[in-house]
Amino acid sequence: MLPVTNVLDDEQHLVRARVSLTQQIDRGSVVLCSPLAEAFLRVPRHPFVPVFYRREGERFIPWRITDGDAEAWLDAVYTDDSLITEVDGVHAEHAGPGGVTGVPTSSSTAPSLMADMLDALDVNEGDEVYEAGAGSGYHAAMLCHLAGDQHVTTVDHSDTLTTLARERLNGIGFDPLVIHGDGARDVPPDARYDRIIATASVRRVPLLWLERCRTGGILVVPIKGTLAGGMIARLTKLPDGTAAGRILHTPAAFMPLKSGTEDEAQVPEIPDGPCRDAEVSGRLLDDWTFSFFAQLHLPRGLVRTYGRSDDGLHVTTLYDPADGSATRIEDRPGATPLVTATGPRDLWAPMEDAHQLWRRLHRPRREWFCIEVTPTEQTVTYTAPDGHTHRWLL
């Protein structure tokens, strides 16, 4: 086992780590073009994640290169996995050795997903690039390598994250514009961009991004509601001021972009009452091949929670704060799941209808769907082999 100083000072060791990561990406579902392969070979990841969390049961424990086996730490950094860097606003560098509990709020994206999105973004040298979600800064470093650091702007809501990202980008020779602010709103005045990318999810594409993208420019935006397995949209800005494109094949569950002060509504307890048999279990929403399609049929503000009953069976709850409707779907041993609804609407019925439609359409894949964004509405469409076009509003 090599000492810490030997691991980080051995350039050949670090080169082998970057080569290994590039090979892992290339062996997966992403075919790396030459510029992207060069970026992963040249841009180091370890300076951006000197501390990250490991999950141990219900706790997240910070892991530093000095915590035991330095080579194992470096191998983890250069493995094709996402690395959690913040939990409930507590950065891994500020956590005690006992770790924290809570919900992850920032991470270094899995490199293969980064590669897929960067390939879709098609960054060329000299392109003006805007990134919403600086995070660790590693993704911004890739953009700097591809476009030139003077052409890159990256924004994050966290002062801690932007400060650390700026320091680490500067530390490897990049000096992009790093802004502490709201990625959906704090676009520099009068700036125009050839490429816009988000590394956090939004429910709809912010119209300011559409406005600030130049004609012919590309936007790559993760779109996700309350369900996991969201969509990544690749859009081209058209001369009429709208944007159109397709959904990428890759599912993605990016953390939500922090924008404004909106808080998720609290799901109320649903009392026992009149109930009915469900056609399908609430576990269906955990199927990423279906969940993106299910999300198209859900109200914009709907909240989903899920867990286990006292008997260890799956329970899903849906709540729409717009009208107070709430629905619980409970698995039962040896019987069909049970639906209990309160308020004006049964929220599970649209999911059952969506599942039937999805099956009738022969389980269409994400990449077969188109997306269009205009100043007045955002739509997703799917044209079936018989020529019929299905359309949903985001």
In a domain, 96, yes or no: yes
Q: What local confidence, expressed as pLDDT, does residue 293 receive?
A: 96
Looking at the fold, whether 291 and 240 belong to one and the same domain comes out as no
360 CB neighbour count, 10 Å cutoff: 9
Q: Is the pLDDT of residue 2 over 60?
A: no
Looking at the fold, whether 143 and 198 belong to one and the same domain comes out as yes
Looking at the fold, whether 33 and 76 belong to one and the same domain comes out as yes
Q: What local confidence, expressed as pLDDT, does residue 272 receive?
A: 86
Looking at the fold, whether 46 and 136 belong to one and the same domain comes out as yes
| Position with higher pLDDT, 68 vs 248 | 248
Looking at the fold, whether 115 and 211 belong to one and the same domain comes out as yes
Per-residue pLDDT tens for 149-167?
999 999 999 999 999 999 9
Looking at the fold, whether 145 and 50 belong to one and the same domain comes out as yes
| Position with higher pLDDT, 218 vs 160 | 218
Q: What local confidence, expressed as pLDDT, does residue 94 receive?
A: 92
Domain of residue 129, CATH code:
3.40.50.150
Q: What local confidence, expressed as pLDDT, does residue 28 receive?
A: 80
Q: What local confidence, expressed as pLDDT, does residue 224 receive?
A: 92
In a domain, 367, yes or no: no
| Position with higher pLDDT, 348 vs 301 | 348
Q: What local confidence, expressed as pLDDT, does residue 263 receive?
A: 61
Looking at the fold, whether 146 and 225 belong to one and the same domain comes out as yes
Query: Which residue segment(s) compose the domain that 302 sits in?
Result: 275-358
Q: Is the pLDDT of residue 29 over 90?
A: no
In a domain, 374, yes or no: no
Q: How would you classify the pairing of strands 152-156 and 177-180? A: parallel
In a domain, 269, yes or no: no
In a domain, 368, yes or no: no
* Cβ atoms of 217 and 236 closer than 8 Å: yes
Q: In this structure, which long-range contacts are made by residues 355-364, counting pairs with CB atoms below 8 Å and at least 24 apart in sequence?
A: 355/279, 355/280, 355/284, 355/290, 355/294, 356/279, 357/390, 358/290, 358/293, 361/390, 363/289, 363/290, 364/293
Per-residue pLDDT tens for 326-346?
999 999 998 999 999 999 999
In a domain, 167, yes or no: yes
In a domain, 121, yes or no: yes
In a domain, 80, yes or no: yes
* Cβ atoms of 109 and 139 closer than 8 Å: yes
Q: How many domains does the chain have?
A: 2
Task: Give CA–CA dist 51/83, Å, rounded.
Answer: 9
Looking at the fold, whether 344 and 235 belong to one and the same domain comes out as no
* Cβ atoms of 223 and 394 closer than 8 Å: yes
Task: Give CA–CA dist 284/265, Å, rounded.
Answer: 23
Q: Is 371 helix (H, G, I), strand (E, B) or coil?
A: strand
Looking at the fold, whether 86 and 191 belong to one and the same domain comes out as yes
Looking at the fold, whether 138 and 282 belong to one and the same domain comes out as no
At 355, the amino acid letter reads H
Domain of residue 296, CATH code:
3.30.160
For residues 16-20, average pLDDT? 94
Q: Please name the residue that has the structure tokens 């709540």.
A: 319
Looking at the fold, whether 241 and 285 belong to one and the same domain comes out as no
Q: What local confidence, expressed as pLDDT, does residue 268 receive?
A: 86
Looking at the fold, whether 88 and 153 belong to one and the same domain comes out as yes
Per-residue pLDDT tens for 227-251?
888 899 999 999 999 999 999 998 8
For residues 39-53, average pLDDT? 96
